[in-house]
């Protein structure tokens, strides 16, 4: 799990709640139409490893102790937060993860990352009736026809309004990714650029 860059630049000094109409360096391939757009689910990230063990994404703030068995992956130099994995049984979502596994029945869970969504996850923006796991590798593909700041903004806000979609993740054939969330854009009535 690596941090996915946001498609458009942030200017925390003047616009802490949103993005600027400038592409983040290294993400220009998205506006060139080189990637595949998929739904960004609003839940909590989990993964199953090759041995079948389940892990939950966890952020540890600077100066705080990591939980037992925490596997750090990276530290954000700007915030000091360390992102990594903890055994899902130790996470605050363990009960809901167990329900999601039961919801999936006896199916096999291929190694990879999954989004845990449901009634008790983040206020249920996905409007799911049960707790369930969505494999990131099979995320819903989306059409984004206008690859401009305003076109992307309009599409992601329409998706969020329609069914609670958190945003869009673009996948480049070489493995690069970029994301944008509905909350990255100012609310109606606010400035757009």
pLDDT of residue 76: 84
Q: Which pair of structure tokens corresponds to residue 97?
A: 């993860």
pLDDT of residue 193: 40
CA torsion through residues 24, 27, 29, 30, sign: negative
In a domain, 193, yes or no: no
pLDDT of residue 143: 95
pLDDT of residue 192: 41
pLDDT of residue 189: 42
- Does 168 lie in the same domain as 133? no
Residues of the chain with pLDDT under 70: 1-2, 12-17, 187-193
- Does 105 lie in the same domain as 52? yes
In a domain, 104, yes or no: yes
In a domain, 192, yes or no: no
Closest CA to 72 of 94, 55, 89: 55
- Strand 167-171 to strand 36-40: parallel, antiparallel, or no bridges (unpaired)? antiparallel
Domain encompassing residue 133: 43-138
Which residues lie closer than 8 Å to 190 by C-beta, 6 or more apart?
18
- Does 70 lie in the same domain as 12? no
In a domain, 133, yes or no: yes
pLDDT of residue 186: 73
pLDDT, one tens digit per residue, over 123-150 is: 998 889 999 999 998 899 999 999 999 9
pLDDT of residue 190: 42
- Residue 70 near residue 58 (C-beta atoms within 8 A): yes
Q: Which pair of structure tokens corresponds to residue 89?
A: 């049984």
Neighbours of 73 (CB within 10 A): 14
């Amino acid at each position: 799990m690596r941090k996915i860059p946001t498609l458009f630049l942030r200017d925390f000094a003047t616009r802490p709640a949103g993005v600027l109409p400038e592409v983040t360096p290294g993400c220009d391939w998205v506006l060139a139409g080189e990637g595949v757009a998929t739904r960004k689910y609003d839940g909590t990230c989990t993964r199953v490893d090759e041995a079948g063990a389940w892990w939950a994404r966890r952020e540890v703030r600077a100066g705080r102790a990591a939980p037992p068995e925490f596997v750090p992956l990276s530290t954000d130099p700007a915030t000091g937060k360390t992102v990594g994995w903890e055994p899902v049984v130790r996470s605050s979502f363990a009960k809901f993860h167990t329900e999601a596994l039961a919801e999936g029945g006896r199916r096999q869970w291929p190694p990879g990352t999954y989004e845990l969504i449901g009634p008790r996850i983040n206020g249920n923006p996905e409007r799911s009736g049960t707790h369930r796991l969505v494999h990131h590798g099979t995320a819903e593909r989306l059409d984004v026809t206008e690859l401009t700041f305003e076109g992307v903004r309009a599409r992601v806000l329409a998706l969020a309004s329609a069914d609670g979609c958190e945003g869009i993740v673009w996948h480049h054939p070489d493995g690069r990714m970029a994301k944008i969330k509905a909350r990255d854009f100012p609310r109606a009535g606010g400035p757009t650029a």
